[in-house]
Amino acid sequence: MRLLFVGDVIGRAGRNAISSHLPGLRARLKADFVVVNGENAAGGFGITEDIFNEFRDHGADVVTLGNHAWDQREALVFIERAPELIRPVNYPAGTPGKGANLFETASGKRVLVMNVLGVAKMEPLGDPFAAVDKELDACPLGEAADAVIVDIHAELTSEKMAMGHFCDGRASLVVGTHTHVPTADTHILAGGTGYQTDAGMTGDYDSVIGMEKSEPLNRFTRRIPSGRFSPALGPATLCGVVVETDDRTGLATRVSGVRVGGQLQETLPDWASI
């Protein structure tokens, strides 16, 4: 099975990249299942139901969130009727929506998708490792699930790497989001889990992590906020990770970074059209 994960979609530029590139990319990669992180899709902060539906129309099977999950208040409501929208699993009990869910591909394969927030330099939430462990135990790879994708939305590379090793052998792919820059450490861990510390953003890279440059530069140089952050609107790069799994075990056999369009050099696996 081939699974495509697309990193944080930033504002209108990122949404345009999804509509322009995702349908063709899914076909070219022969991806059986696609997950898109959409927590920055609405003006850089949160997601709306209309945007969620657009992503689904363009080829996303599931949309994950992060620390901006509720910045658009309507998400608290529509997530209850959108099982394909996954918020962090370590939110408190009673939070709307689900942090993990099992989905079925067109061919009948079962894919568990999980979203978890790191806690280092982030919100003081429940233990991410305990929350992930509970879900992995409840839906074991190779038994209840044919593939498992864990999106760890975290600030520190060390926490993301620790989560990768924690899930090694129990997940098909552990991929980091939130820091908006694609890392060069795409590989298969010792136990067979595909891993990348950060998928990178789907947004305009002529920016400061997706935001128009003037306000971040002003804050760094003068230490005085002068306005709101606004997403950059130039041509965006779609960034992500594609993993191919063993049909018997659900573990990774091949994994590669993906970058298409915009400022960054295009990167596709040499097995993309196989």
Catalytic residue ranges: 68
Paired tokens of 166? 């924690």
Is residue 216 within 8 Å of residue 208, measured between CB atoms?
Answer: yes
Q: Across the beta sheet with 238-245, what order do the strands follow?
A: 85-86, 62-64, 33-37, 2-6, 238-245, 252-260
By residue count, the chain amounts to: 274
What is the distance in angstroms between the CA of the first residue and the CA of the last residue of the chain? 13
Is residue 245 within 8 Å of residue 253, measured between CB atoms?
Answer: yes
Q: Residue 13 is which amino acid?
A: A
Q: State the CB neighbour count (10 A cutoff) for residue 36.
A: 28
Instruction: Give the gyration radius of the chain's Cα atoms.
Output: 17
